[in-house]
């Protein structure tokens, strides 16, 4: 009986061991077939959305270990950090008809993971497309000056345009920044010329203002120095000292007469000698003036004598030539008269031509004599 009881107990233990092994093997097979563990870990910056038989189960799971049912539950992690998304460059025409290319950066984060998963298929792609279309729209509503120098209102307007559809997706737009504005080369050159002209205008205005102020100060200094001539001499000496500090320079200074007068008046013990010298200089200058006038008169007389001699020589050379000319004209007239008397000339009209020519020629002799007499009379 005792042997039979031990055999039964051994059979029972063996059966129980086989049952446990079968259960463990079954669980392992089930887990192998499903391939999904029952425990999941959600990180601190994530939220877990659990689907049970395809339906969202309650609120998103917080950070930590999450228990899931096999075969029925599925976990989707959603990142809740701020995402930095660059917007590709968009080309558009501004309000003042300038073609530009603008790119921007969008900062957003997921506030409601359930809406971000359910309401839109791919919330990242959706935000990117809305940002591009909104950027094109804001370019067309703005001018070039606003894009270059007044971007803050544009950033706020772009953020508002993005935030309107993003609220329904459980996404919050933190901020939007316009990063770069690319202009055409022709527009860059035009703006450079405009800036250069404006700088040149301001430089000229500043220079003219400086010249005006300097002229006023110089006028005041001239008034002060005119009241005291010695100050002008002191200023001259000071200028010489400043220039002489440069040893490599050469100074050519004209000695002013005012300085001589100043030194003459300042030497009181020799004032009598200076007065005598002034009288001597004045007397010498008057004598020099008299000698100069006498020289001028003698030069004038010599010039008149030379003129008379030239006129006499001219008369001696011209009068014989005039006499020879008059005799030649008389002989020609007598020959013409003899030919007309003997009938050698056939053309009656040509008979009158020598007479018409001879009469004015013969009349010129008295005029020439009168002119010579008229020219010779003032000289005598």
pLDDT band at 272 (very low <50, low <70, confident <90, very high): low
Confidence check: pLDDT of 2 > 60: no
- pLDDT (tens digit, 9 = 90+) per residue, 6-62? 777 777 778 888 888 888 887 776 666 555 557 888 898 889 888 888 888 888 888
Q: 14-28, 169-183, 261-275: which has the minimum mean pLDDT?
A: 261-275
pLDDT tens track for 276-298: 555 666 655 566 666 566 666 66
Q: Is the pLDDT of residue 227 over 60?
A: yes
| pLDDT the model gives residue 367 | 43
Q: Does residue 300 carry a pLDDT above 50? A: yes
Mean pLDDT on 345-369: 42
| Full 3-state SS string of the chain | CHHHHHHHHHHHHHHHHHHHHHHHHHHHHHHHHHCCCCEEEECCCEEEEEEECCEECCCCECCEEEECCCCCEEEEEEECCCEEEEEEEEEEECCCCCEEEEEEEEEEEECCHHHHHHCCCCHHHHHHHHHHHHHHHHHHHCCHHHHHHCHHHHHHHHHHHHHHHHHCCCEEEEEEEEEEEECCHHHHHHHHHHHHHHHHHHHHHHHHHHHHHHHHHHHHHHHHHHHCHHHHHHHHHHHHHHHHCCCCCCCCCCCCHHHHHHHHHHCHHHHHHHHHHHHHHHHHHHHHHHHHHHHHHHHHHHHHHHHHHHHHHHHHHHHHHHHHHHHHHHHHHHHHHHHHHCCCCCCHHHHHHHHHHHHHHHHHHHHHHHHHHHHHHHHC
- pLDDT, tens digit, for every residue of 100-112? 999 999 999 999 9
Of 122-136, 211-225, 266-280, the poorest mean pLDDT is in 266-280
Dmax (CA) for the chain in angstroms is 215
Q: Three-state SS string across 56-100, please?
A: ECCCCECCEEEECCCCCEEEEEEECCCEEEEEEEEEEECCCCCEE
Centre a 10 Å sphere on the Cβ of residue 311 and count the other Cβ atoms it contains: 16
Q: For position 340, what pLDDT does the model report?
A: 79
The predicted pLDDT at position 205 comes to: 94
Count of other CB atoms within 10 angstroms of residue 40: 18
Phi, psi (5° rounding) for residue 19? -65, -45
Average pLDDT over residues 189-215: 91
Mean pLDDT check: name the lowest of 142-146, 265-269, 332-336: 265-269
Predicted pLDDT at 346: 44
pLDDT value for 248: 66
pLDDT per residue over 118-133, tens digit each?
888 889 999 999 999 9
The pLDDT value recorded for residue 359 is 41
Residue 97 or 279, more confident: 97
Question: Averaged over 340-363, what is the pLDDT?
Answer: 47
In terms of pTM, does the model score above 0.75?
A: no
Tell me: pLDDT of 206 over 90.
yes
pLDDT exceeds cutoff 50 at 191: yes
Percentage of residues in the chain having pLDDT higher than 70: 66
Predicted pLDDT at 185: 86
> What's the token pair of residue 44?
């601190």
Give me the pLDDT at residue 295, please: 62
Indicate the pLDDT class of residue 68, thresholds 50, 70 and 90. confident
């Amino acid at each position: 009986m005792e042997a039979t009881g031990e055999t039964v107990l051994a059979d029972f233990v063996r059966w129980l061991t086989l049952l446990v092994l079968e259960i463990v093997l079954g669980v392992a097979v089930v887990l192998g077939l499903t391939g999904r563990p029952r425990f999941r870990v959600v990180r601190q910056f994530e939220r877990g959305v659990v689907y049970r038989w395809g339906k969202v189960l309650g609120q998103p799971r917080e950070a930590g270990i999450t228990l899931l049912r096999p075969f029925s539950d599925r976990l989707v992690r959603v990142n809740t950090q701020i995402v930095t998304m660059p917007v590709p460059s968009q080309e558009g025409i501004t309000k003042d008809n300038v073609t530009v290319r603008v790119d921007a950066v969008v900062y957003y984060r997921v506030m409601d993971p359930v809406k971000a998963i359910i309401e839109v298929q791919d919330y990242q792609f959706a935000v990117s497309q809305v940002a591009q279309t909104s950027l094109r729209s804001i370019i067309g509503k703005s001018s070039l000056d606003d894009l270059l120098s007044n971007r803050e209102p544009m950033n706020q307007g772009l953020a508002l345009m993005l935030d309107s559809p993003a609220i329904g997706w459980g996404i919050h737009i933190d901020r939007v920044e316009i990063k770069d504005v690319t202009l055409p080369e022709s527009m860059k050159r035009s703006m450079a010329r405009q800036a250069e002209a404006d700088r040149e205008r301001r430089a000229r205005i500043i220079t003219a203002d400086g010249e005006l102020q300097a002229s006023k100060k110089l006028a005041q200094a001239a008034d002060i120095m005119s009241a005291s001539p010695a100050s002008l001499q002191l200023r001259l000496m000071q200028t010489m000292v400043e220039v002489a500090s440069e040893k490599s320079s050469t100074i050519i200074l004209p000695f002013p007469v005012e300085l001589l007068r100043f030194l003459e008046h300042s030497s009181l013990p020799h004032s009598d000698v200076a007065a005598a010298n002034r009288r001597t200089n004045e007397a010498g200058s008057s004598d020099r003036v008299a000698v100069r006038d006498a020289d001028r008169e003698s030069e004038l007389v010599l010039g008149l004598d030379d003129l008379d001699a030239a006129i006499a020589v001219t008369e001696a050379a011209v009068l014989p030539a005039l006499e020879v000319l008059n005799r030649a004209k008389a002989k020609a007239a007598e020959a013409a008269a003899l030919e007309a008397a003997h009938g050698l000339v056939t053309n009656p009209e040509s008979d009158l031509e020598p007479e018409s020519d001879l009469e004015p020629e013969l009349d010129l002799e008295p005029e020439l004599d009168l002119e010579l007499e008229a020219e010779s009379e003032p000289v005598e």
